[in-house]
Structure 1
């Protein structure tokens, strides 16, 4: 369906807004807001309905709603002062006051369109919508939200991520597609990786935590839970310790307190780093495959190969080596006593990357934290392995409590 109003045309199917034939660039969230108002022209849309329809019922601040409305008005040549297109009804909501003409596109199935809109954030979405936030330093940070329900921030392995590749690979989607049945999963590529600005900067886990908060603010999310994997526990701990009012719960898998260099009195040569140095930039090299195989000795091998492609696409060798060094040298021990949210820790009993003793240190250092030991040698649980179902059911139950 296409809608014409106040000199504009909005094409729902093409997700385009034009003004006298000229394309008007708007963010996806702003487009959804304009579409909602146009489809309900003349009707009062309350704040609660805005939150339900545009933010999928997530907790969202008044300032985020106001900013989205201001962007919608600006795109339509309107303002809060003139309100010639979008009018605010004090303490009630907003409505579109322009006259709207509906224009059907030939061959369009209107019931199917309405159904498609209703499930646009549902499980197994076909299209990923990537948006951008800005770091304190002005670097662009790519993020995406999948699913609907209470928000969960996903802090991934080692700070190396690629939203686009993760979306395409079954091994990458296995986790967030499952969780998206119950929750809104917020994922982002840290600066220097994936679809974010490929700027080479110093690895700073405190800065990564602040970047995560900037992403949550851009997404209009006030409070959220965190799911962190492996090296993702480092920025996750900084978030939970420094922004306690923003965090509902913290889940950790494959985490640790002290990096490899700190927990060994006489550190041996880092074989994994040597493998990275010798073959990270070669697509699907045996060296890169060996790195990921050491994390997942129980496979499945096809999923391990997926992760090789994912992580090689996320960062180049220089960035990966800097991440490796920072992770080896890191310690979050001073932060643990400041983490006050409910915390659940998972760890493989035979994990050869970070020993079970590191998970025990996490559980002992965080007040009232709980530890679940999984009978696996894999660093993280993977689909089609014996521990996967137990892990996912326990995690979802914890987040949903």
Structure 2
């Protein structure tokens, strides 16, 4: 039995009631509602809904959309408000209300955040890029990296602390890279690569009329940030690189190209599946010390943020990145942060990155996690280094 607002979905009696009164719903609509309520912690992909409700019977996307519309109508919701049933573009649907169990315990489903206004700009090759700003003050730009979704990141235990703290004294500018999140996803293979990613960053900066700002690059976003800083030194006041690398996996020595091919194969077969080998490897490389909740969010973000096809294209393109020739041309003051026991990429790649940039400072972080989490000692260390580097007083650091 599921309770939310003044509704009760009774799965034993197969009834939907509102304030004690029966609400008439067709059996398939009831099954759709039941499936969404059974999985409030994740997006229900269209194919999952179709399999759960209709089995092997072929049902078109239009028919599913009609059942979702009827389910919303039964809940006094609609496609515009999406108060209880949220559409996740090109992925599926999610229940975003607050569930109450028979014991009175409330479980609030993760919902898209509305604190950052999402806008769109169009790159030179016609790709629509979603961007958002949060906070007040001078701009701080974060180059896009893999696995983001502007509507969900502010609630994610993997990303929310970074967004919150960098928005305290700055207007933090974020965007979903092409093929990911709310940006255009239907792209050709040539749309995945360094040149296109730098062009998207240029489009966002120009679209917001930004003149000069610190630039943050995380993971493969570091290579994009380096290339942008070389092309536009007059605009980048500080360059912050975290968990970044200058050379993709295929350039790192014997066996690495084969490992990259194995990771591509894992991605192709297990993307977005919580029990797959890919999900286990992915979480173990990015947040090996993550809690079950953090790991669940990270795996869920796979389904929300990108299709399996695009994930494979991303993985291949990351392995082929190489900006080592650009490193000596960086004239922007640079801070390189890298986890000591990072495996994606290893600490040596961060050391090489710092060694190649004139005057760059390397700060090792005492953690196993590639993405530094809020509940570990490395997080306040990392944040204090960033704030001091870009000119903010350490005393402004939020107390944990």
Is the TM value for this pair above 0.5? yes
* TM alignment of 1:94-173, pairs within 5 A: 127-158=115-146, 160-173=147-160
Distance 2:319 2:185 in 1: 23
Distance 1:178 1:236 in 2: 20
Which residue number corresponds to residue 296 of structure 1? 287
Conserved 8 A contact 1:162-1:311: no
* Residue from 253, 261, 273 that aligns with 2:242: 253
Distance 2:248 2:290 in 1: 24
Distance 1:343 1:278 in 2: 38
Which residue number corresponds to residue 44 of structure 1? none
Conserved 8 A contact 1:157-1:230: yes
Per the TM alignment, residue 196 of structure 1 is displaced from its structure 2 partner at its CA by: 1.0
Conserved 8 A contact 2:216-2:239: yes
2:263 maps to 1:272: yes
Which residue number corresponds to residue 348 of structure 1? 339
Which residue number corresponds to residue 206 of structure 2? 217
Per the TM alignment, residue 285 of structure 1 is displaced from its structure 2 partner at its CA by: 4.7
2:183 maps to 1:196: yes
Which residue number corresponds to residue 173 of structure 2? 186
SS at match of 2:132: strand
SS at match of 1:305: helix
Listed as ranges, the gaps of 5+ residues in structure 2 are 1-112, 393-400
2:325 maps to 1:338: no
Task: Output one character per residue of 1:247-283: Cα deviation in whole Å (capped at 9) or x when no partner.
Answer: 1111011111211111123434344333212210436
Distance 1:126 1:140 in 2: 20
Per the TM alignment, residue 286 of structure 1 is displaced from its structure 2 partner at its CA by: 5.5
Distance 2:309 2:173 in 1: 27
Per the TM alignment, residue 129 of structure 1 is displaced from its structure 2 partner at its CA by: 1.0
Distance 1:132 1:285 in 2: 34
CA spacing shift, 1:192–1:342, aligned 2, 3 Å? same
Distance 1:133 1:251 in 2: 25
Conserved 8 A contact 2:154-2:164: no
Distance 2:282 2:239 in 1: 27
Conserved 8 A contact 1:163-1:189: yes
Conserved 8 A contact 2:272-2:300: no
Conserved 8 A contact 2:142-2:217: yes
Task: Output one character per residue of 1:217-253: Cα deviation in whole Å (capped at 9) or x when no partner.
Answer: 2112111111111111121111111111111111011
2:376 maps to 1:359: no
Listed as ranges, the gaps of 5+ residues in structure 1 are 1-124
Conserved 8 A contact 2:272-2:299: no
Conserved 8 A contact 1:272-1:291: no
Conserved 8 A contact 1:172-1:306: no
SS at match of 1:360: helix
CA spacing shift, 1:276–1:299, aligned 2, 3 Å? same
TM-score, with structure 1 as normaliser:
0.65
Per the TM alignment, residue 188 of structure 1 is displaced from its structure 2 partner at its CA by: 0.5
Per the TM alignment, residue 205 of structure 1 is displaced from its structure 2 partner at its CA by: 1.2
SS at match of 1:144: strand
Per the TM alignment, residue 345 of structure 1 is displaced from its structure 2 partner at its CA by: 0.3
Conserved 8 A contact 2:240-2:335: yes
Distance 2:336 2:374 in 1: 19
TM-score, with structure 2 as normaliser:
0.65
Distance 2:130 2:274 in 1: 24
Which residue number corresponds to residue 241 of structure 1? 230
Distance 1:287 1:360 in 2: 28
Distance 1:245 1:220 in 2: 14
Per the TM alignment, residue 312 of structure 1 is displaced from its structure 2 partner at its CA by: 2.8
